[in-house]
């Protein structure tokens, strides 16, 4: 749908994550209720939809039916999904009622087994790790690594995403946060009054590449510290953005009136640029601190940036988001649109709107239930998750009713 962005005639399919008959084995009452979609992942003609309550359903695009639910235990609450392209498997991160929802448990299941309706054919990951809150697990697709943090012993560990072997651990008690970028990790330590100690490690073996202090304004809160290749971005409250080249210590400043603290970043590794999200608007910057792109028609629907409603293509040339359909009178809108824009030019290339006559409804039966129930307008109301399948050239959206809609040419 996006390569040429000529949407032409579009059809709408619908999948439902809610099935009272199939949910009978679940112990937890909240898992049996309708719940909004929070994450969508697709691979190998299979669409995975995760609800806010913690149910994950897999649907086949070949049969347009539900294959199975991925909750294999009656008290399992799935919190996030990750498609591991290194070994063609889906990783689920879950908590369990029997454990008081206190620790994260990871599981990997080959996509092929899920396609056969065998979600229990996977195996657990990182069983040696105690991932109790505020512990975490982070999957790094760019470097093919997994970062875990065990809060009780304050140890970070790095694993290989291909075979899940542990590569090394970091046990410095003063590490406050770790940021990952291509080839390296930035360790941010507890700040001193006038500086913050930083350390850059090789992501492959954990060896120290550079250790230095970055000067700070005293008594000013640090809004963010981000690392992108050799560039360090530091912003303090009511201060200019600082862009430091860690190789030669060259410092660039961007006026605080030009660059205001965003609610989220997305780094575009292919283009050496970064996206910022603030108050529904998206902007593209380079590492000289210059605004590269502002978008002509890409006003996000939600004021607080939720990246589950945004998709960046693998070539990093297009952004697909749930937006205001008519930005000029956005206050009165009840229904949004799916906007596809060029990241380098800011031009809106295509748009799926409720008043688009080219969108038709597919008449076939949906899932294991009756024919499609949503109109195009209803499908574009309260979109809570979005994903673009680049192989199939289809957009998937999920809404607050737990329904998934497929937009295809």
| The length of the chain, given as a count of residues | 409
pLDDT of the residue at 388: 98
- Which residues have a Cβ under 8 Å from the Cβ of 299 and sit 6 or more positions away? 280, 281, 323, 324, 327, 330
Specify the pLDDT at position 22: 72
Residue 307, pLDDT score: 82
The pLDDT value given to residue 365: 40
Q: Report pLDDT for 23.
A: 67
pLDDT at position 26 is 75
pTM for the full model?
0.92
- Average pLDDT, rounded, for the chain: 91
Give the pLDDT means over successive 10-residue stretches in the chain (409 positions).
47 88 73 92 97 96 95 93 97 95 97 97 95 95 96 94 97 92 95 95 96 94 93 96 93 95 92 93 95 93 86 96 84 86 96 81 49 83 96 96 93
Strands 359-361 and 10-16: parallel
Work out the widest C-alpha separation in the chain, in whole angstroms: 65
Whether the CB-CB separation of 395 and 1 falls below 8 Å is answered with yes
Q: What is the pLDDT of residue 130?
A: 92
| Rounded distance between C-alpha atoms, residue 308 and residue 261, angstroms | 21
What secondary structure letter does DSSP report for 19? -
Convert the pLDDT of each residue in 282-334 to its tens digit.
Answer: 999 999 999 999 899 999 999 887 788 999 999 999 999 999 998 876 566 78
Element (H, E) at 201: strand 195-202
What SS3 string covers 223-244? EEEEEECCEEEEEECCCCEEEE
Spatial distance between the Cα atoms of 90 and 3, rounded to a whole number of angstroms: 26
- State pLDDT tens for residues 42-65: 999 999 999 999 999 999 999 999
Q: How far apart are CA 82 and CA 258, in angstroms?
A: 36
Do residues 405 and 397 make contact, with C-beta atoms less than 8 angstroms apart? yes
* pLDDT of amino acid 2: 44
pLDDT at residue 357, rounded to an integer: 72
Would you say 1 and 409 are in contact if contact means Cβ atoms under 8 Å apart? Answer: yes
Look at residues 182, 159, 154, 183 and name the one whose alpha carbon lies nearest to residue 170.
154
């Amino acid at each position: 749908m996006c390569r040429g962005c000529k949407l032409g005639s579009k059809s709408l399919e619908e999948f439902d994550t809610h099935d009272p008959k199939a949910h009978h084995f679940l112990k937890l009452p909240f898992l049996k209720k309708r719940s909004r979609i929070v994450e969508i992942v697709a691979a190998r003609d299979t669409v995975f939809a995760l609800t806010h309550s913690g149910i994950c359903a897999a649907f086949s695009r070949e049969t347009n039916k539900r294959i199975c639910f991925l909750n294999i235990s009656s008290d399992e609450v799935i919190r996030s999904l990750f498609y591991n392209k290194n070994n063609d498997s889906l990783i689920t991160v879950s908590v369990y009622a029997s454990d008081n929802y206190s620790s994260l448990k990871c599981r990997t299941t080959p996509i092929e087994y899920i396609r056969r309706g065998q979600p229990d054919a996977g195996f657990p990951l990182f069983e040696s790790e105690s991932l109790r809150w505020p512990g975490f697990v982070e999957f790094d697709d760019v470097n093919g690594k997994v970062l875990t943090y065990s809060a009780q012993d304050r140890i970070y560990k790095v694993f290989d995403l291909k075979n899940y072997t542990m590569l090394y651990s970091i046990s410095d008690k003063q590490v406050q946060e770790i940021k990952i970028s291509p080839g390296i990790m930035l360790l941010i330590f507890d700040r001193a009054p006038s500086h913050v100690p930083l350390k850059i490690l090789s992501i492959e073996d954990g060896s120290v590449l550079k250790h230095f202090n970055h000067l700070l304004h005293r008594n000013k809160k640090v809004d963010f510290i981000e690392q992108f290749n050799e560039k360090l971005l530091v912003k303090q409250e009511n201060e200019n953005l600082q862009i430091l080249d860690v190789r030669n210590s060259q410092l660039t400043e961007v006026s605080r009136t030009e660059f205001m603290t965003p609610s989220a970043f997305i780094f575009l590794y292919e283009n050496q640029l970064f996206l910022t999200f603030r108050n529904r608007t998206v902007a593209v910057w380079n590492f000289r601190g210059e605004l590269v792109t502002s978008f002509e028609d890409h006003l996000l629907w939600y004021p607080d940036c939720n990246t589950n409603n945004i998709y960046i293509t693998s070539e990093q040339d297009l952004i697909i988001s749930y937006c205001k359909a008519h930005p000029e009178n956005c206050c009165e809108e009840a229904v949004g649109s799916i906007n596809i824009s060029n990241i380098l030019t800011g031009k809106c290339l295509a748009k799926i709107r409720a008043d688009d006559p080219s969108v038709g409804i597919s008449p076939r039966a949906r899932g294991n239930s009756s024919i499609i129930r949503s109109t195009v307008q209803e499908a574009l109301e309260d979109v809570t998750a979005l994903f673009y399948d680049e192989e199939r050239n289809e957009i998937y959206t999920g809404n607050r009713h737990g329904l998934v809609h497929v937009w295809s040419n």
